[in-house]
Amino acid sequence: MNIRKLVSSAFAASVLALGTMLPFAVQASVVIAGTRVIYNASDSEVTLKLSNVGKSPALTQVWLDKGDPKADPSKLDLPFVLTPPLARIDPGKSQTIRIAYTGEPLAKDRETLLWFNMLEVPPKPTADQAGANYVQLAFRSRLKFFFRPAGLEGKADDAPGKLTWHVGTQNGKPALLVTNPTAYHVTIIEAHMGEGPHAPRFDKGDMVAPGAQLALPLSAAPGGAGKVSFTTLNDYGGPMKYEAALQ
């Protein structure tokens, strides 16, 4: 089997495994430096470092998608080139992935959200392993990829403070309704009203897109609290805490 067929087979296996829970602990060998990618339109390229912390060589494939994790990479048409798309990484070594924008039009008044994918294909089993009860797994990682056009109003760091909050319902249950009037995506990892273990809380994590409204289901009906405390992630994946008045 050649390399592309091997990667294609591994990709298909990774898609099948997306909704599968494994009854044992597994760990990828290749790790990505970072939790998200920010591509400013003024950049000629951005880079990501992949490091093999395992004991065996690994073959990796990288690509971007529009949000469908099951999309076939060979059928995606996006204005970015990733180099190299396939790479072998030896144990203790690293590989730099370069991502370049080819210039085809994207939204100019807001960020565009894509997803960076890294598929790690396991090495071919040895003769001893092939004759035993041996399971091979293809590991797949996905990171948010934000393309940020030039000239956007405001700053990404200021976007969480501009969110507006209301108490409402979702499917008949209490929820916080958050509206994002900015041009930036805001990832909310938790929000709560009041203090204590029984305070109404959202802790599932979600993201509100530019110009959109999002309903965050609460663990309990809100009382008389007049403000919401919430935590977001910044461009470096670090948590940032905020408070806002309910409107």
Give residue 166's domain range.
156-245
Q: Is the pLDDT of residue 21 over 60?
A: no
What CATH number does residue 76 fall under?
Answer: 2.60.40.10
Looking at 83, 114, 148, the residue that finishes a domain is 148
Q: Is the pLDDT of residue 87 over 50?
A: yes
pLDDT in tens, 223-243: 777 899 999 999 999 999 999
Say whether both 99 and 42 belong to one domain.
yes
Say whether both 179 and 59 belong to one domain.
no
Phi-psi domain of 154 (left: phi exceeds 0; alpha: psi -120 through 50; beta: other): left
Say whether both 144 and 162 belong to one domain.
no
pLDDT band at 134 (very low <50, low <70, confident <90, very high): low
The average confidence (pLDDT) of the chain is 89
Closest C-alpha to 60, from 130, 98, 102, 11: 11
Say whether both 108 and 182 belong to one domain.
no
pLDDT in tens, 150-179: 999 999 999 999 999 999 999 999 999 999
Looking at 125, 148, 171, the residue that finishes a domain is 148
Q: Is 59 helix (H, G, I), strand (E, B) or coil?
A: strand
- Token pair 């507006």 is found at 164
The helix (run of H) or strand (run of E) holding residue 117 is strand 112-121
Span 38-56, mean pLDDT? 96
Say whether both 22 and 113 belong to one domain.
yes
Contacts of 185 (CB under 8 A, 6+ apart): 111, 113, 144, 146, 207, 208, 209, 210
Q: What's the pLDDT score for residue 5? A: 54
Looking at 118, 148, 178, the residue that finishes a domain is 148
Q: What's the pLDDT score for residue 60? A: 96
Higher pLDDT, residue 39 or 121: 39
Say whether both 19 and 118 belong to one domain.
yes
pLDDT in tens, 24-37: 445 679 999 999 99
Say whether both 11 and 127 belong to one domain.
yes
First-to-last C-alpha distance (Å) of the chain: 61
Domains in the chain, number: 2
Q: What's the pLDDT score for residue 7? A: 55
Q: Is the pLDDT of residue 210 over 90?
A: yes
Say whether both 135 and 196 belong to one domain.
no
Say whether both 98 and 210 belong to one domain.
no
Say whether both 132 and 232 belong to one domain.
no
Say whether both 137 and 24 belong to one domain.
yes
Say whether both 11 and 118 belong to one domain.
yes
